[in-house]
């Protein structure tokens, strides 16, 4: 009878430890579905539909690894210079003050770079294409701080 109780006690301890571990992980930000702004690694996996196009030269350009070094560079300046200067960018809705970007990465693709910039600065980016399917412009919208009322932007 004493041996049976020890078996049950060990099982009960394992069950409690597993329950506490599950409870502590559910409160941890590691399991969040969407990363918070400022927490995205530059080499993070990019969703397959982020700035998606069927245009092969565009995809090759976007997925080519580049070297970037930004030290407190204005967000507007990043889009005007290499390695992102091969495409047109338009701020449909921008923040009142342009944030400064700091990043140092070797071997990051342009798509990964844009993904990291978008999430670090609370931006939404979408691709505008010509009627023939060739990408022509990336539209950039500031998502706001959450305290602002949402509305339609002009394109």
Q: What's the CA gap between 142 and 124, in Å, rounded?
A: 6
Question: pLDDT-derived band of residue 24, with 50, 70 and 90 as boundaries?
Answer: low
Q: What's the CA gap between 9 and 82, in Å, rounded?
A: 64
Q: What's the CA gap between 11 and 4, in Å, rounded?
A: 11
Q: What's the CA gap between 115 and 143, in Å, rounded?
A: 14
Please give the domain boundaries of the chain with CATH numbers for all domains.
56-142 (3.55.50.30)
Length of the chain: 155
Other CB atoms within a 10 A radius of the CB of residue 68 amount to 22
pLDDT, tens digit (0-9, with 9 covering 90-100), for 96-152: 888 899 988 888 899 999 999 998 899 999 999 999 888 999 999 998 775 444 544
Return the bridge partners of 113, or none.
none
Question: Which pLDDT value is given to residue 23?
Answer: 56
Give whole-number Cα distances, 105 to 39, 54, 87, in Å.
15, 27, 21
Q: What's the CA gap between 72 and 87, in Å, rounded?
A: 22
């Amino acid at each position: 009878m004493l041996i049976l109780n020890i078996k049950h006690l060990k099982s009960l301890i394992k069950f409690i430890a597993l329950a506490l571990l599950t409870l502590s992980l559910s409160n941890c930000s590691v399991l969040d579905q969407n990363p918070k702004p400022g927490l995205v690694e530059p080499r993070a996996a990019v969703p397959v539909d982020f700035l998606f196009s069927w245009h092969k030269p565009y995809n090759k350009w976007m997925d080519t690894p580049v070297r970037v070094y930004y030290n407190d560079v204005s967000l507007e300046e990043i889009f005007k210079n290499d390695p992102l200067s091969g495409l047109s960018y338009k701020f449909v809705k921008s923040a009142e003050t342009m944030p400064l970007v700091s990043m140092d990465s070797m071997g990051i693709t342009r798509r990964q770079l844009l993904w990291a910039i978008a999430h670090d600065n609370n931006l939404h980016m979408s691709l505008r294409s010509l009627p023939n399917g060739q990408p022509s412009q990336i539209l950039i919208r500031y998502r706001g701080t959450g305290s602002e009322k949402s509305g339609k932007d002009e394109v």
